[in-house]
């Protein structure tokens, strides 16, 4: 479905080279948008104007933003995992979650969202046409998840920043929302399953719809929240979870 009010919009999607970001960027292309993809990886979907950007590095973000005259929509999608228990004891050996693993996730998933919004919002305000920001959170930002101290901290932080920015930026006609998927079938999820960190069958049993989300499922929710069909929605987190939260937190 192509939602109204998107044709001709200038859109920035972070993490656009693969997974949810790629599906989101392609969805905007079919809606007639001019789409810029920011990703640390080279390459990306055909038709998307890709630039190598490290969202964890404010100088990299600022340089990419400086190339754009105006931006109507910002999708803060880029994210990483570095799973590990806070303290793990196995066969008498104690291991701790490292500073490197904690900081890497916070730098991309939380500070990256901050860096991109800080660089783009002044352009939206100066243009005087309003704008929309969509931040990638997760259902685990609400209830926590075993072995994901760093990831949960980042995604809960994104939910909080979304609410604050909705309050601060509404006066400029800028809407700010978040989308919170459950498990999505991406390369990152597949690596976690292959490494034994995630049990796919257990996850499917916990999701009432009985499957992992596809990137397009999330992209559809994103395009709705960024369209005029959602013109009076701001400060909201939409959970694309197949009923995960209806099952209960535990």
Strands 87-90 and 93-96: antiparallel
Tokens 């754009």 belong to residue: 68
Phi-psi bin for 195: left (phi > 0), alpha (psi -120 to 50), beta?
alpha
Other Cβ atoms less than 10 A from the Cβ of 202: the count is: 8
Q: How far is CA 72 from the centre of its chain?
A: 17
**Annotated catalytic, 172?**
no
CA torsion, ordered 85, 146, 102, 17, to nearest 10 deg: 130
CA distance 155 to 168: 20
Interacting residues of 66 by C-beta distance below 8 A, sequence separation 6+: none
CB 241 within 8 A of CB 139: yes
CA distance 107 to 56: 5
Which residue out of 36, 151, 183, 239 is catalytically annotated? 151
Q: Does an H or E element contain 226, and which? A: none
Residue positions annotated with a catalytic role? 151
């Amino acid at each position: 479905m192509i939602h109204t009010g998107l044709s001709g919009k200038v859109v920035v999607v972070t993490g656009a080279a693969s997974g949810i970001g790629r599906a989101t960027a392609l969805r905007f292309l079919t809606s007639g948008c001019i789409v810029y993809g920011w990703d640390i990886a080279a390459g990306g979907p055909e038709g998307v104007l890709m630039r190598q950007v490290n969202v964890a590095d404010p100088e990299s973000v600022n340089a990419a933003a400086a190339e754009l005259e105006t931006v109507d929509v910002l999708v803060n999608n880029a994210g990483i995992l570095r799973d590990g228990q806070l303290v793990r004891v196995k066969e008498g050996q104690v291991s701790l979650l490292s500073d490197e693993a904690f900081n890497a996730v916070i730098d991309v998933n939380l500070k990256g969202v901050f860096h991109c919004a800080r660089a783009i919002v002044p352009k939206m305000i100066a243009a005087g046409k309003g704008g929309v920001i969509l931040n990638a959170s997760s259902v685990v930002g609400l209830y926590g998840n075993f072995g994901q101290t760093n990831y949960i901290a980042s995604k809960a932080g994104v939910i909080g920043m979304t609410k604050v920015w909705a309050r601060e930026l509404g006066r400029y006609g800028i809407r700010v929302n978040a989308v919170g998927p459950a498990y999505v079938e991406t390369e990152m999820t597949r690596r976690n399953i292959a490494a034994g960190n995630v049990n796919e069958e257990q996850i499917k049993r916990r999701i009432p719809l009985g499957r992992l989300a596809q990137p397009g499922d999330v992209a559809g929710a994103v395009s709705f929240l960024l369209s005029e069909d959602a013109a009076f929605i701001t400060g909201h987190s939409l959970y694309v979870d197949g009923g995960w939260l209806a099952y209960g937190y535990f």
